[in-house]
Amino acid sequence: MSVQRLNLMGAVYAMACIVAGTAIAEERDKLLSEPGVYGNFSAFQIYHDWWNMDKAVRLAAISEAKAVFDKYRDKLAIDTFLLRGLSDHADVMVRVHARELGDIQSFLVDLLATGVGKHLNTTLVLNGMTKKANYVPAFPDALKNDLKAPSDPGPDTYAIVIPIRKDAEWWGLDQDKRTALMQEHTEAALPYLKTVKRKLYHSSGLDDVDFITYFETSRMDDFHQLIIALEKVKENKHNRRFGHPTLIGTVRSWDELFGTLGR
């Protein structure tokens, strides 16, 4: 085969990889931004015997786990987090978005069947789905404009997951009363909108909680003040459960997380 033909084939392959990578990135963006997408948070503790294994065996197990991540990357948006040292409930966490809950299940089943997965103890699983904003359409225009300001959580971000369950009284309130309470809630959160990024998942019927709140920030002092501000609003009295557990970790890429596991 001529050198020219080999070069052409290489160029075609490279272009195909670029196109595929772009398609995957576009689908990921949609999964992270569109309503009607399922979200799963799975937290794991690493069994102590993992760290006593020969490093070569651990690296082989990590390669097997990374292959599972690659297998699903075209249909799932997968994010990984290191919780070890910041949360006593788990060492690592995986956040997965998908259009079908069954696809998330398949990924997790495959992951837990790997050499890494066999050394993971599942400590928490939360399921939810994204929806269009329920109360924002009724907010004053000035407040809606303020909410459009982009958030910038910073380059070295922490992730916080807080499950929430409302009391029965909350669900018995009419829409206008709940909207008024959520407007106060939103106004209290506005000063922290720029440095604390927030995403909400609805969980009623999908889990034992009603909501999963996910935050990213590089300013944990701002996050601390945000929670204090929200504890002062009237809507807070309807929180039957807030946290229990609260998970705190750092956002890590797949390679960074597996690098930590391979040390």
Would you name the residues annotated as active-site residues? Answer: 198
Burial profile 112-140: b = 16 or more Cβ within 10 angstroms, e = fewer? bebbbbebbeebbebbbbbeeeeeeeebe
79, 112, 139, 180, 257 from 253: Cα distances, Å: 7, 19, 37, 40, 6
Contact by Cβ (8 Å): 165, 239: yes
Amino acid, res. 228: I
| Terminal-residue alpha carbon distance, the chain | 44
| Backbone φ, ψ for residue 71 (5° rounding) | -60, -35
| Backbone φ, ψ for residue 86 (5° rounding) | -115, -20
Rounded to whole angstroms, the Cα distance separating 136 from 133 reads 6
